[in-house]
Amino acid sequence: MVLSVSERTFAQEVFQASTPVLVHFWAPWCGLCHAIDPTLTTFESEWAGKVKLLGVNADQSFKLANTYRLTSLPTLILFERDKVRFRFEQYHGREELQRTLNSWMVATFQSLQTQLLQPQEAAKR
């Protein structure tokens, strides 16, 4: 089950998280938002401990919807602390979504590993 956050708890849950956070912006009336829930749940279990999955009801969190300029639902945004790393708005199927999410995570962890290297080691890559 996806943990829901509000405008009040968003900064603490996302910006202070020790892992990357995938935020699923959704609305109760959005059928596609509900249709991707099983894919998101599978993704979260496959990357357990390496990513945190949160849901934001865009209808109840209008300020967040405006801050992140949502133009369609569902919208998925992967955060690393307070930085947006990736954004997904055009859903074309479960397989594409799964591939996209996995590629995001691989890219995120490659980036983190590079940042952890000493400056000389990073320059050699």
In the block, which residue shows the tokens 């943990």?
3
Q: What is the DSSP letter of 17?
A: -
**How many CB atoms lie under 10 A from the CB of residue 43?**
22
Q: Would you put residue 29 in left (φ > 0), alpha (ψ -120 to 50) or beta?
A: alpha
Q: Which of 23, 33, 56, 97 is catalytic?
A: 33
Query: For the chain, how many structural domains are there in total?
Result: 1
- Structural domain boundaries enclosing 33: 3-124
Whole-angstrom distance, CA of residue 96 vs CA of residue 106: 15
Low-confidence ranges of the chain (pLDDT < 50): 118, 122-123, 125
CA distances in angstroms from 97 to 37, 49, 105, listed in the order given: 11, 20, 12
Q: Which of 30, 44, 80, 98 is catalytic?
A: 30
pLDDT value for 125:
47
pLDDT value for 46:
93
Residues 71-95: pLDDT tens digits? 999 999 999 999 999 999 988 888 9
Amino acid (1-letter code) at residue 84: V
The answer to whether 33 is a known catalytic residue is yes
Instruction: Look up the CATH number of the domain holding residue 7.
Output: 3.40.30.10
**Whole-prediction pTM:** 0.85
pLDDT value for 53:
96
